[in-house]
Amino acid sequence: MLGNFTYCNPTKLYFGQDALGGLNEELPKYGKNVLLVYGGGSIKKNGIYDKVVSVLKANGKEIFEDAGVMPNPTVEKLNDGIERAKAAKADLILAVGGGSVCDYAKAVSVSVHCNDDAWEKYFIRFDDVTCNIIPVGCVLTMVGTGSEMNGGSVITNHAQKLKIGHVFGENVFPKFSILNPEFTFTVPKYQMISGIYDIMSHILEQYFSGTDDNTSDYIMEGLLRSLIRSANTAVENPADYEARSNIMWTATWALNTLVAKGKTTDWMVHMLGQAVAAHTDATHGMTLAAVTMPYYKYILPYGTAKFARYAVNVWNVNPLGKTDTQIAYEGLSAMEEWMKNIGLAMSIAELGATKDMLDGMVKSTLVMDGGYKVMNEKDIRAVLNASF
């Protein structure tokens, strides 16, 4: 049931081939010092760096660089970024990259003016932000996480074998995001399909909860249908602007808090995937793909009616003369076939997980409720074991 809620998403979006021009409207709102945050260098190869720097200079900004944000950003890099932002006296953090760069920028933004240890405060204790926040803007170059329009920030601690996300409030959402689908054309295919599956998983994590009649579920079915169609096109032709722009837009709506309204969510595919990543450092969307089928087959008996609805409304399964259970399994088979066809990882062994990591991965899996079954340690072990 939708119940009581407030809804506000403060991120301003500039979308399309001319989106970068939005920086000219946004930059004058902030002080002179800009911390330009980016990853391992893809933006230098594809020319996005030069384009961004030229707009920053035209707006009279002093640029301080913070490069080398890795996929699955680490706590060590976060601490380094906090020092860089302090030294730069940053008035704005401009993240140019994918979810890792945007997430990292947000984590830095809430930590610079805070004396506590950032990892302990936000990722272990899940404390609220109690200090000044440096505003963040985002130029998105890789699609999937939704980080461009949400408060999420995921940081990995390899020493503790933990990969944990903190969902910050509206005050930490990017103030603006630049979404030009053409900026994603150079993303390698492996990353592109991983991002596509991340989007699908975000939608499904929210969809598979509740038994009520909720507008959010209808919106999500539409998003899923659009995503599947555009993904098929983009896999064939990565430079198809229409497909890439639909995927970009779907990603944003999949995880910008809209479709979460009225839903209870346990995010268990993400909890399992993050545990796998904490031990393998594998690509986010692939870790989700690799645990999805074992997990959904495990929980299907607890939410059969919803899985049957999913099969019919998203995968066009013909329900005539079949039980809900039959329909539900047919839907999962159609999904599995599609996942294999687009090239997703279908086992955690493919991602470098080995059996001697099993105990550790079970320990690293956080459990939340809100889905169709609250998982216990035995359940998690069974799902991870089946994911090999």
303 interface partner picked from Zn ion, ligand NZQ, none, CB below 5 to 8 A per type: none
Report in angstroms the alpha-carbon separations of 38 from 66, 210, 305, 330, 383: 7, 39, 44, 43, 36
Which CB atom, from 148 or from 198, has the smaller least distance to Zn ion?
198
Segment lying near ligand NZQ (by CB under 6 A), choices 56-64, 136-144, 331-339, 369-377: 136-144
Cα dihedral across residues 77, 80, 82, 87: positive or negative: negative
330 interface partner picked from ligand NZQ, Zn ion, none, CB below 5 to 8 A per type: none
Minimum distance from CB of 11 to Zn ion (Å)?
A: 18
Q: Is 101 in the site for ligand NZQ (CB under 6 A)?
A: yes
Residue closest to Zn ion when measured from CB atoms: 198
**Pick from 148, 107, 105, 172: nearest CA to 12:** 148
Minimum distance from CB of 138 to ligand NZQ (Å)?
A: 10
| Other beta carbons less than 10 A from residue 121's beta carbon | 20
How far apart, in whole angstroms, are the C-alpha atoms of residue 157 and residue 72? 9
> Which one of residues 42, 252, 256, 364 is an interface residue with ligand NZQ (CB under 6 A)?
42
Which CB atom, from 183 or from 267, has the smaller least distance to Zn ion?
267
Contact 94, 36 (CB under 8 A): yes
C-alpha radius of gyration, the chain, whole number: 20
Instruction: Please report, as residue ranges, which positions from 144 to 203 form the binding site for Zn ion (by CB under 5 A).
Output: 198
Please tell me what DSSP assigns to residue 120.
Answer: I
> Which one of residues 135, 195, 262, 371 is an interface residue with ligand NZQ (CB under 6 A)?
195
> Which one of residues 71, 294, 331, 371 is an interface residue with ligand NZQ (CB under 6 A)?
71
* Angle, helix 284-299 to helix 268-280, in steps of 10 degrees: 130
Please tell me what DSSP assigns to residue 355.
Answer: G
Residues of this chain that bind ligand NZQ (CB under 6 A): 39-43, 46, 71-72, 97-101, 103, 141-142, 144-147, 150, 152-154, 165, 183-184, 186-187, 191, 195, 198, 255, 270, 284
